[in-house]
Amino acid sequence: MRLRKSLVMLVYLLFVLVPIYWLVNMSFKSNREILGGLSLWPAAPTLDNYRVIFTEPTWYMSYLNSLSYVSMNMLISLLVALPAAYAFSRYRFLGDRHMFFWLLTNRMAPPAVFLLPFFQLYSAVGLFDTPIAVALAHCLFNVPLAVWILEGFMSSVPKEIDETAYIDGYTFPKFFIRIFLPMIRPGIGVTAFFCFMFSWVELLLARTLTSVDAKPIVAQMTRTVSASGIDWGVLAAAGVVALLPGIAVIYFVRNHVAKGFALGRV
């Protein structure tokens, strides 16, 4: 049985890691070598592809644009979802379950449904081709998910803690920031992780709501076709660099994510 589990885990790791290795392998090859045939490692390793990524403004600015709107989206989603989730977990009011379900239905809808309204609205108010436009559009999908995750964590905290804090003289902002938020740190970590992942990889809204100044990396990677064809080496290098922020986020919230999967509604 232990041997079977080990074999299954080995096959799974190969299935996951081989594409990543192949991407890294291609990033150190020239286009001629990539198109010349398959090889397990570069015959003549080169850093030219990475030099293009870090020296051409169209590439490194697209990374900065992506990091900009992803960070804004995470911050806005958490600031909106935390008080909303607290209200759903602590209070009962007319239509609370229906409103909670309505929030989740927004998350279930595909981004293409809201594409035209967002485009026309942002074009009218002057937000088209700005990072805040993409950040606000992604909030429509991340805020419902954040509220749903955080409400599960907050509901597991006994209400007696709130009452005890008020008896001790805590105001609500002081109690919420100093006592309540530290108790749901795993939930905040899980929420930030899922908000980041959706906003970082989402393509349709990010590509449609930007053109030049705020073009993100996911859109830039789809525009590598030139007169000479697709620059596979640069595209592979861009993919490798695009993996790094996700790896960094997973590393910093790994403990919270593990607790979140064990304790929360994830």
Residue range 208-263, pLDDT digits in tens: 899 888 889 888 887 766 556 778 888 899 999 988 988 888 888 777 666 666 65
Tell me the C-alpha distance between 73 and 62, whole Å: 16
CB 264 within 8 A of CB 149: yes
Tell me the C-alpha distance between 220 and 58, whole Å: 8
The pLDDT value given to residue 227: 53
CB proximity list for 8: less than 8 A, separation 6 or greater: none
247-262 pLDDT, tens per residue?
888 888 777 666 666 6
The pLDDT value given to residue 82: 93
Total count of residues recorded for the chain: 266
106 has a pLDDT exceeding 80: no
The pLDDT value given to residue 226: 58
Q: Give the position of tokens 């967002």.
A: 118
Q: Phi-psi region for residue 129, left (φ > 0), alpha (ψ -120 to 50) or beta?
A: left
The pLDDT value given to residue 266: 55
Query: pTM of the predicted model, to two decimals?
Result: 0.84
The pLDDT value given to residue 263: 57
The DSSP bridge partners found for residue 222 are none
81 has a pLDDT exceeding 60: yes
Q: What is the mean pLDDT of residues 173-192?
A: 88
One-letter amino acid identity for 180? F
Q: What is the mean pLDDT of the chain?
A: 85
Reduce the DSSP state of residue 172 to 3 states and report it. Answer: helix
CB proximity list for 206: less than 8 A, separation 6 or greater: 66, 69, 134, 216, 218, 219
The CA distances from residue 181 to 84, 114, 152, 186, 263, in Å, are 14, 33, 14, 10, 16
CB 59 within 8 A of CB 238: yes
Q: What is the mean pLDDT of residues 193-213?
A: 89
CB 79 within 8 A of CB 189: no
Share of the chain above pLDDT 90, in %: 23
Tell me the C-alpha distance between 134 and 129, whole Å: 8
CB 222 within 8 A of CB 203: yes
The pLDDT value given to residue 199: 92
Q: What is the mean pLDDT of residues 84-97?
A: 82
Least Cα distance to 136 among 79, 78, 76 occurs for 76
Tell me the C-alpha distance between 92 and 107, whole Å: 23
The pLDDT value given to residue 69: 93
Reduce the DSSP state of residue 212 to 3 states and report it. Answer: coil
One-letter amino acid identity for 72? M
The pLDDT value given to residue 95: 73
68 has a pLDDT exceeding 80: yes
CB 135 within 8 A of CB 72: yes
User: In terms of pLDDT, which residue wins out, 6 or 261?
Assistant: 6
- Res. 83 pLDDT band, cuts 50 70 90: very high
Indicate the burial class of 119 (C-beta count within 10 angstroms; 0-12, 13-18, 19 or more): middle
Domains of the chain: 1-46 (no CATH), 55-265 (1.10.3720.10)
